[in-house]
Amino acid sequence: MGETSIQWTDYTFNPWIGCTKVSPGCKHCYAERMVIQRSNWGVKWGRKGNRKRTSLSNWKNPLKWNRLAHASGRRRRVFCCSLADVFEDRPNLMPMRKDLFELIRITPHLDWLLLTKRPENILSMLPADWGSGWENVWMGCSTEDQTWYDRRIEALLAVPARIHFLSAEPLIGPITLGHGKAQNLDWIIVGGESGPGFRPMDIQWVRQLRDDSARFNVSFFFKQHSGLHPKTIGNKLDGRSHLNWPGSPPRSRGRPKLSPLSRSEQLQVAQQKHRKKYIYLPLSRELVEQIDKKAGAQGRSKFVETALRRALK
């Protein structure tokens, strides 16, 4: 996890690993194959399986990417949960999802691409201060054919977000777009299935989405043809590449607020406020519970949580 060969993002980040199949597009799930091949990960796929939080060093990576983006002046895109689903409905994911959103909050130079197959769950799982959408979050859902487009699109577009996008990958049936920029759909990624047992994609399905995207003013990104090894075929459609990202609208909504204090000043204020130096400890759920006991769950401010996470840098 980190730098990736996925053309439409700069990095991938998995806060945890594990998921459950929910629709036909999941039939040949590459993430499940990876988990089976890497038994040392200790993850079992499926509804009765487990979800395993990734390492602390992995959680530090977005902080590093954020610093690089800030220093270079170029925003970086982060595809979140290539081996999981941010909005899977499991009680044990709640604390990890809370930590994920805190991490997103303190990395404002990254654009986080949250892609889900469960858009109906998004609204109930967003932070309380989501408002009209955090400026550094793009919200997307996967759809493999017309049936699942029709089931998911309205739930996705009901979520306030800076960018709404679709991933039609693997595309296993035709889709006719009925939503575009006027309905807040900004971007669509299209790709055929790859690997053993791949289901062939009809090139006419891709042309249909290309033409619909032009008609509805949706940015169109064609990732790959279907095949055992699609990279050997290339990603051109009718002789040309279509590698388009959504434009960058004026940044006027929902930026998570950052403290004007330096990191060391934040730590000093937090320590003075709670009279104990908790900040040097590794961040964990157990640590948060310690603070709750000593400072009170209701009195524990978001300021302290932010200071804890910044201490990981």
The confidence score (pLDDT) of residue 151 equals: 97
Rounded CA gap, 99 and 222, in Å?
33
The confidence score (pLDDT) of residue 82 equals: 94
Rounded CA gap, 22 and 205, in Å?
23
Rounded CA gap, 99 and 305, in Å?
9
The confidence score (pLDDT) of residue 233 equals: 86
Taking the mean position of all CA atoms in its chain, how far away is CA 249? 20
Q: Which amino acid is present at 198?
A: F
The confidence score (pLDDT) of residue 171 equals: 98
- Residue 97 · residue 86 · CB < 8 Å: yes
Rounded CA gap, 4 and 80, in Å?
12
- Residue 77 · residue 113 · CB < 8 Å: yes
The confidence score (pLDDT) of residue 266 equals: 59
The confidence score (pLDDT) of residue 312 equals: 52
* Per-residue pLDDT tens listing for the chain (313 residues): 566 778 899 999 999 999 999 999 999 888 888 888 888 898 999 999 999 999 999 999 999 999 999 999 999 999 999 999 999 999 999 999 999 999 999 999 999 999 999 999 999 999 999 999 999 999 999 999 999 999 999 999 999 999 999 999 999 999 999 999 989 999 999 999 998 899 999 999 999 999 999 999 999 999 999 999 888 888 999 999 999 999 743 333 344 445 555 555 556 666 565 544 443 434 455 665 666 666 665 554 554 556 555 655 5
0.85 surpassed by pTM = no
Rounded CA gap, 61 and 1, in Å?
9
Query: Which residues are bridge partners to 240 per DSSP?
Result: 237
Q: Which domains does the chain have, with CATH numbers?
A: 11-241 (3.20.20), 263-310 (no CATH)
